[in-house]
Amino acid sequence: MTPPYGEYNELSRRTTLTFWAKEHLPGNPVHFFIGHGPGASRVQESGLDLADTLAEKQYGGMKIGGTAVSALLWGTGVIGLVAVLGLFFAAFRAAGHLSHFYQEEDRNLSGLFDGLRASIIVLTLSLAHKDFFAHHIPFQTLVLLIFSFIVISQRQIGSLQAYSRQ
């Protein structure tokens, strides 16, 4: 007989979300909104990583954090997921603003920010595909570098505009 969530009882990308909803919607409002705490969906992969998380204790072998969306829902709840999606949306808009600002002045910088907008779209789509945003430091570093570059660039144009008004 096949287990309810695929071979070895692992959840798929889709069933991680339906399983989370099944566990939280009936009567778990606190964990629905704020989650179980950062890293709740992390599982021990190999070596001496002795994970003592909700995923290991209560849902062993199911991979409840199979995607970044499900890992965020388990760890930070709906509020955390909305905050992260808002961060991606804000970075996308800021990169668009920067692209528009540099369109006449420097076409290379305008193209750079258009490219960063495209990369933000790909990174946002990856939230539903892989768990890298929640569990992999190199991926988190890449996202942080892109967002930081956009923030610093936006602050620079703010300073330039303030300086030119004086």
Average pLDDT, the chain: 86
Domain boundaries, the chain: 7-165
CA distance 128 to 111: 27
| pTM score, whole prediction | 0.85
Instruction: Give tens-digit pLDDT for 33-87.
Output: 998 888 777 776 665 555 677 767 777 778 888 899 999 999 999 999 999 999 9
List alpha helices for 29-106, DSSP H. 29-34, 54-57, 68-102
Q: Residue 88: name the closest of 115, 121, 53 by CA.
A: 121
| Cα 9 off chain centre by | 25
d(CA 115, CA 32): 35
Torsion of CA 71, 76, 80, 82, to 10 degrees: 50
Q: Which of these, 126, 100, 118, 116, lies nearest to 148 by C-alpha position?
A: 116
